[in-house]
Amino acid sequence: MAPLVHMQKGGRQGLTAGCPSRSARRAPVHCSTRRALKVAAVNSGGPNHRVPFNTNVNAPPRIQLPGFLQPASSSSQHHQPHHNQQQQHRPDLNMTPPMEGAFKATGRTVVITGGSQGVGRAAALLFARKGYNVVVAAREAARLAYVADDCAAAAGRAGAALAVPTDVTQERQVQALVNSVLSKFERVDAVVQCAGVFGRGAVEDTPAMEARRLMEVNYLGPYLVTQAFLPVLLKAGARAMGTSSSSSSAGVGGGGVGLPGIGGLLGGGERPSLVFLTGFSGRVPTKHMGAFSASKAALESLAASLRTEVEGQGVHVGVVQPGLVRSNLMERAAFYGRNSEEDRRSFRQMLRTLPMAQSPGEVAEAIWGCVASRSPEVAVGLPFAAAAQAYRLTGINPSATPFT
Ligand SMILES: NC(=O)c1ccc[n+]([C@@H]2O[C@H](COP(=O)([O-])OP(=O)(O)OC[C@H]3O[C@@H](n4cnc5c(N)ncnc54)[C@H](OP(=O)(O)O)[C@@H]3O)[C@@H](O)[C@H]2O)c1
Is residue 300 within 6 Å of ligand 1 at its C-beta?
A: no
Domain annotation covers residue 124: yes
Find the 351 Cα to ligand 1 centroid distance in Å: 15
pLDDT range class, residue 97, cuts 50, 70, 90: low
- The predicted structure's pLDDT at residue 10: 36
Domain annotation covers residue 287: yes
Find the 34 Cα to ligand 1 centroid distance in Å: 21
pLDDT range class, residue 243, cuts 50, 70, 90: confident
Report the predicted TM-score, pTM, of the whole model to 2 decimal places: 0.76
Secondary structure, 3-state, the chain: CCCCEECCCCCCCCEECCEECHHHHHCCCCHHHHHHHHHHHHHCCCCCCCCCCCCCCCCCCCCCCCHHHCCCCCHHHHCCCCCCHHHHCCCCCCCECCCCCCCCECCCEEEEECCCCHHHHHHHHHHHHCCCEEEEEECCHHHHHHHHHHHHHHHCEHHHEEEEECCCCCHHHHHHHHHHHHHHECCCCEEEECCCCCEEECCCCCCHHHHHHHHHHHHHHHHHHHHHHHHHHHHHHHHHHCCCCCCCCCCCCCCCCCCCCCCCCCCCCCCCEEEEECCHHHHCCCCCEHHHHHHHHHHHHHHHHHHHHHHHHCCEEEEEECCCECCCHHHHCEECCCCHHHHHHHHHHHHHHCCCCECHHHHHHHHHHHHHHCCCEEECCHHHHHHHHHHHHHCCCHHHCCCC
Mean pLDDT of the chain: 78
Find the 198 Cα to ligand 1 centroid distance in Å: 8
Domain annotation covers residue 85: no
Minimum-distance ligand 1 atom for the alpha carbon of 357? 3
Distances (CA, A) of 382 to 47, 280, 293, 320, 389: 21, 11, 20, 13, 10
- The predicted structure's pLDDT at residue 1: 38
271 class by beta-carbon count within 10 Å (0-12 exposed, 13-18 middle, 19+ buried): buried
Q: Mean pLDDT throughout 371-390?
A: 95
Domain annotation covers residue 62: no
- 404/120: higher pLDDT: 120
Pocket test for ligand 1, best of 32, 117, 147 (most atoms within 8 A of CB): 117
pLDDT range class, residue 376, cuts 50, 70, 90: very high
pLDDT range class, residue 12, cuts 50, 70, 90: very low
- The predicted structure's pLDDT at residue 63: 44
Print burial letters for 177-193: b (CB count within 10 Å at least 16), e (below 16): bbebbbebbbbbbbbbb
Pocket test for ligand 1, best of 39, 139, 150, 218 (most atoms within 8 A of CB): 139
Is residue 165 within 6 Å of ligand 1 at its C-beta?
A: no
Find the 254 Cα to ligand 1 centroid distance in Å: 30
Pocket test for ligand 1, best of 43, 329, 363 (most atoms within 8 A of CB): 329
Minimum-distance ligand 1 atom for the alpha carbon of 195? 24
Find the 62 Cα to ligand 1 centroid distance in Å: 31
Pocket test for ligand 1, best of 125, 194, 289 (most atoms within 8 A of CB): 194
Is residue 327 within 6 Å of ligand 1 at its C-beta?
A: yes
**Helices 141-155 and 31-43, packing angle to 10 deg:** 60
Is residue 114 within 6 Å of ligand 1 at its C-beta?
A: yes
pLDDT digits (tens, 9 = 90+) for 301-344: 999 999 999 999 999 999 999 999 999 999 999 999 999 999 99
- 190/41: higher pLDDT: 190
- The predicted structure's pLDDT at residue 145: 97
Is residue 173 within 6 Å of ligand 1 at its C-beta?
A: no
Q: Judge contact between 116 and 140, C-beta under 8 A.
A: yes
- Among candidates 151, 149, 96, which has minimal Cα distance to 364? 151
Q: Angle 168-309-215 (CA atoms, 0-180°, nearest 5)?
A: 30
- 255/233: higher pLDDT: 233
- The predicted structure's pLDDT at residue 103: 82
Is residue 258 within 6 Å of ligand 1 at its C-beta?
A: no
User: Does residue 28 have a pLDDT over 80?
Assistant: no
Is residue 328 within 6 Å of ligand 1 at its C-beta?
A: yes
> What's the domain range around 252?
106-400
Q: Under the phi-then-psi rule, with left for phi > 0, alpha for psi from -120 to 50, and beta for the rest, what region is 125?
A: alpha
- The predicted structure's pLDDT at residue 100: 52
- The predicted structure's pLDDT at residue 245: 61
pLDDT digits (tens, 9 = 90+) for 194-238: 999 999 999 999 999 999 999 999 999 999 999 999 999 999 999
Find the 33 Cα to ligand 1 centroid distance in Å: 19
pLDDT digits (tens, 9 = 90+) for 134-193: 999 999 999 999 999 999 999 998 899 999 999 999 999 999 999 999 999 999 999 999
Measured distance CA(316)–CA(275) in Å, rounded: 8
- The predicted structure's pLDDT at residue 382: 93
Measured distance CA(395)–CA(4) in Å, rounded: 48
Find the 309 Cα to ligand 1 centroid distance in Å: 27
Is residue 217 within 6 Å of ligand 1 at its C-beta?
A: yes
Domain annotation covers residue 25: no
- The predicted structure's pLDDT at residue 400: 85
The CATH number assigned to the domain holding 223 equals 3.40.50.720
Number of domains within the chain:
1
Distances (CA, A) of 179 to 9, 223, 228, 276: 23, 17, 10, 21
How far does CA 221 lie from the centroid of its chain? 14
User: Does residue 126 have a pLDDT over 50?
Assistant: yes
Going by alpha carbons, the residue nearest to atom 45 of ligand 1 is: 196
- In this structure, the number of other CB atoms found within 10 A of the CB of residue 113 comes to 25
- Which region among 86-100, 120-134, 255-269, 330-344 has the lowest average model confidence (pLDDT)? 255-269
Find the 194 Cα to ligand 1 centroid distance in Å: 6
- The predicted structure's pLDDT at residue 32: 46
pLDDT range class, residue 8, cuts 50, 70, 90: very low
- What share of the chain in percent tops pLDDT 90? 63
Measured distance CA(316)–CA(190) in Å, rounded: 9
- Which region among 48-52, 204-208, 269-273 has the lowest average model confidence (pLDDT)? 48-52
- 30/363: higher pLDDT: 363
User: Does residue 34 have a pLDDT over 50?
Assistant: no
